[in-house]
Chain A
Amino acid sequence: MSLLLKMLAQRIALGLLLLFLVSILIFGGTLILPGDVAQSILGQSATPEALANLREELGLNEPAVGRYFDWLGGLLQGDLGTSLTSGQDIASAIGKRLGNTFFLAFWAALISVPLAILLGLIAVRYRERWPDKLISAVTLASISVPEFLIAYVAIFFVSVRLRWAPSVTTINDSMSLGEKLHTISLPITVLTLVVLAHMMRMTRAAILNVMQSAYVETAELKGLRMFTIIWKHALPNAVAPVVNVVMLNMAYLVVGVVVIEVVFTYPGMGQYLVDHVSKRDLPVVQACGLIFAGVYIGLNLVADIVSIISNPRLRHPK
């Protein structure tokens, strides 16, 4: 057991180190971006004195290293700073939107992950026959079309023609869960289509790989049904690669959702980030960047940990 714990502790420590390095990268990256916050706040016609005053006020003249450690110290206490343009506390502004993004990602994942694995299993069961080919064709087609195009096509047919679901997906606290889910049904569908192919193909490949092994032959010679063999003998040994790709796609559901949020005007992190990039509001961009990085690293960490735990040799040492 100690080896397992040691490996897990190592992974977590590496994840934290990575997050720290990313914070340096994000801070440094935003420093070298062209443009100037003061300029964008005051506009082209601002006088040099006004610009200088505003820069002084915003603390933009301090040395970068000092500002980085101020920023990092604040982060560790949960203080993401204040927005340069609106003067609001970033943490409270983000909190709500992050919740919305997670809400959308959670429901998209809840549908897409089991669906992808189920489709992968079916594809294995009927490999090289028409169900396999149909599943592959449909999922590959849906991943190949840009997501905004799928989104607009879906809006046109489902919202405009059929009037089944709204195209503007603004949700708020006064709505019941059912109302919320109905409101976001279109973005969920589009996101599912986008992430399905990747996970389904990986499940199929990983299980087919395991299906070559001698213990699957043993299971066949025990007279078990094909689906029992896939479910009980193949899937448990294909967990590691499948979890990895599932986590990558879940990270995408949080981090890569920008386009979908903009198309559906969903009040999530993506919209918020895009707004503030265009305003050159660096603290907000940095905070969003760091949160996205944190989610990405966190989910990949989960994948690593699940892979380690799924190895029976580590879980049950001699």
Chain B
Amino acid sequence: MSEKLLKVRDLKIGATVYPPGEKPHDIEIVHGVSFELAKGQVLGLIGESGAGKSTIGLASMAYGRGGVQITGGEVWVNGRDILKTSQGDVRNLRGGEVTYVSQSAAASFNPAKKIMDQVIEAAVGQGKFSKRDAEARAVELFGKLGLPDPENIGNRYPHQVSGGQLQRCMTALALCPEPDLVVFDEPTTALDVTTQIDVLMAIKEAIRDTGVAALYITHDLAVVAQVSDDILVLKMGDMVEYGSVDQIINNPQEDYTKALVSVRSIDHAEKAPTPEPVLKVENITARYKGTNFDVLKNINVELHPGQTLAVVGESGSGKSTLARVITGLLPQSRGNIHFAGRDLSPSLDGRSREDLRELQMIYQMADVAMNPRQTVGTIIGRPLEFYFGLKGAEKRKRVVELLDEIEMGESFIDRYPAELSGGQKQRVCIARALAAKPKMIICDEVTSALDPLVADGILKLLLDLQKVEDVAYLFITHDLATVKAIADSISVMYQGEVVRYGGKTDVLSPPFDDYTDLLLSSVPEMKLGWLEEVIANRKMESAGN
């Protein structure tokens, strides 16, 4: 058997935690993980947040983020245990033999330095290349990764290129020193689907052309299926399943892996429109103060009682701005908002308390949408007090009812947000919105920050609550799988305009307009060879045109 590039044996990683009201103590977050990686192979590390996948990836560079410490086991790179080697050798390893691509290139590039200087820094600093050779290599990589104007893009500053381009620059940064291993840590998670597919292809081709080995870390099984040879499934720091990509996707053995593969099992039949919509947005045009550019252009959509309108689009499409206009945070420059049989005032000041009560909102980041110093009971109780004047035992009774509705129960009433998991926090936010007994709730990317299985639970809960409370949702998301799961009608937005609008079945059935087609075909599917298929189709189409 050939010598493995990377061998990890019984790796244990610990961290110090600071729970509220308790003494700080050490816990173990990775409990004995072992795997191997040969030259030129790609291993996908997959799991939900807290599974320890990033931590394991960084451990292969002998690095612990924050207070994280490697407490046991061995990590062999190129025939030596890097946990026992010298400081100087670790510096040679990092940026030389093993390099790293992070989730957010925007944050990982120094804003004050040119892209080229940062891309070649490790290669030159390690003495592997002269400055001139490193620059020539960087330009070659920029071209290979499909960046525009590869000769000159390095002279720009990070804020001068787009997010997708910067993520490719980060890949160039990692490949520039000719490493043996690259750790990709969720490299496409922060990107729009249509951008993700290009970056994914660029990464895949770069791996193939340079013969480098890679650890590919992600929570998205469909993505990892496109690039990996083997997959290691992790859960809470334990190995769940380890096998070839074919076996994991097509023949998963463990229940947890099966759940990951079959996620998004919700089946929601479209409801027919009612005669009287609860929300009618008519010809809305809006722009932000101090700009001369309309971010929303002539928007017309309707939402019917007890139904869900999904607003889909990429970042910058204006979907969140539409929510701001409906809630009154950004008064429209033209058009009308008709809500529950009356016209809403464009500005927040002109709206009655009843307007505010009947129109609630749930946000993407549940933990920043709650006061960390208030208990769950106080947070949910606040709208009860504000809108209905409930106090004391009466209020508590209603809070407990709401906690039961979100499947959490009375035991949570005195807990603080910091003591809840991500999914529980979002549930509390849902309960807070429901407490006002609204006619409509705007859900702004409410599942985007959650793991797939948790997000699934939240979506199921929202659908159940809709049946009980007869509340309408305006559901803003970039995730088409979510849309398919819960929507009754769909509005596809692109650059401030609605490009496609109608019932779910109609919108998702051909013939498509160009943009919707691009959007739909870019969503990764859980099947091997999907990426190549899509790229080949697109090449054929553009050749045919």
Contact = CB atoms under 8 A, between A and B. Distances in A.
A218 B100 contact: yes
B112 A312 contact: yes
A302 interface: no
Contact of B121 (A217, A222, A313): A222
Nearest to A212: B66
B95 A223 contact: yes
Given A217-B65, A313-B159, A225 B91 contact: yes
B345 interface: no
B95 A224 contact: yes
Contacts of B126: 223
B110 interface: yes
B29 interface: no
A215 B110 CA distance: 5
B122 A222 contact: yes
Contact of A221 (B92, B94, B107, B111): B94
Interface string A225-246: 1001000110011000000000
Contacts of B333: none
B177 to A, nearest CB: 8
A214 B104 contact: yes
A224 B112 contact: no
A310 B157 CA distance: 13
Interface in A288-318: 310, 312-313, 316, 318
B125 A214 contact: no
A223 B108 contact: no
Nearest to B170: A218
A223 B65 contact: no
Contact of B94 (A213, A222, A237): A222
Nearest to B159: A313
Q: Contact residue range for chain A? A: 20 to 34
A40 B173 CA distance: 75
Given A214-B102, A221-B63, A237-B110, A318 B160 contact: yes
Q: Contact residue range for chain B? A: 20 to 34
Interface in B315-355: none
Nearest to B58: A221
A220 interface: yes
A237 B112 contact: yes
Contact of A237 (B92, B107, B111): B111
Contacts of B99: 221-222
Contact of B108 (A217, A228, A236, A316): A217
Interface in B67-97: 90-96
Contacts of B95: 221-224
B61 interface: yes
Given A224-B121, A312-B157, A318-B160, A218 B108 contact: yes
B94 A215 contact: no
Interface in A190-220: 213-215, 217-220
A254 to B, nearest CB: 30
A30 B469 CA distance: 72
A220 B94 contact: yes
A236 B112 CA distance: 7
A310 B109 CA distance: 16
Contacts of A225: 91
A115 to B, nearest CB: 24
Contacts of A232: 113
Contact of B157 (A218, A220, A221, A316): A316
A228 B118 CA distance: 13
Nearest to A239: B112
B109 A312 contact: no
Contact of A223 (B58, B102, B107, B122): B122
A318 B100 contact: no
B110 A233 contact: yes
Contacts of B104: 214
Contacts of B173: 218
Nearest to B96: A223
B129 to A, nearest CB: 13
A66 B26 CA distance: 75
Most chain A beta-carbon neighbours within 10 Å: one of B63, B93, B125: B125
Given A214-B108, A236-B112, A222 B157 contact: no
Given A213-B107, A215-B109, A312-B157, A222 B61 contact: no
Contacts of B102: 214, 217-218
A313 B94 contact: no
Contacts of A221: 58, 61, 63, 94-95, 99-100
A223 B109 contact: no
Contacts of A213: 107
B183 to A, nearest CB: 9
A286 to B, nearest CB: 41
B96 A215 contact: no
A185 B339 CA distance: 77
A236 B109 CA distance: 13
B107 A312 contact: no
Interface in B96-145: 96, 99-100, 102, 104, 107-113, 118, 121-122, 125-126
Contacts of A233: 110, 113
Contacts of A318: 159-160
B160 A316 contact: yes
B462 to A, nearest CB: 33
Contact of A222 (B65, B90, B107, B125): B125
A304 to B, nearest CB: 18
A221 B65 CA distance: 11
B92 A220 contact: no
Contacts of B93: 223
A229 to B, nearest CB: 10
A232 B99 CA distance: 20
Interface in A144-165: none
A312 B63 contact: no
A310 B111 CA distance: 11
B125 A224 contact: yes
Nearest to A228: B125
B161 to A, nearest CB: 9
A219 B108 CA distance: 9
A317 B239 CA distance: 47
A316 B160 CA distance: 8
A182 B104 CA distance: 55
Interface of B: 58, 61, 63, 65, 90-96, 99-100, 102, 104, 107-113, 118, 121-122, 125-126, 156-157, 159-160, 173
10 contacts: A213-B107, A215-B111, A222-B95, A223-B92, A223-B93, A223-B96, A224-B95, A233-B110, A313-B157, A318-B160
The 10 A-B residue pairs whose C-beta atoms are closest, nearest first, are A222-B95, A223-B94, A223-B95, A222-B122, A214-B107, A223-B91, A236-B112, A215-B110, A218-B108, A221-B100
Given A224-B95, A233-B113, A310-B112, 18 more contacts: A213-B107, A214-B102, A217-B65, A217-B108, A218-B102, A218-B118, A218-B173, A221-B61, A222-B99, A223-B92, A223-B95, A224-B91, A236-B112, A237-B111, A237-B112, A316-B157, A318-B159, A318-B160
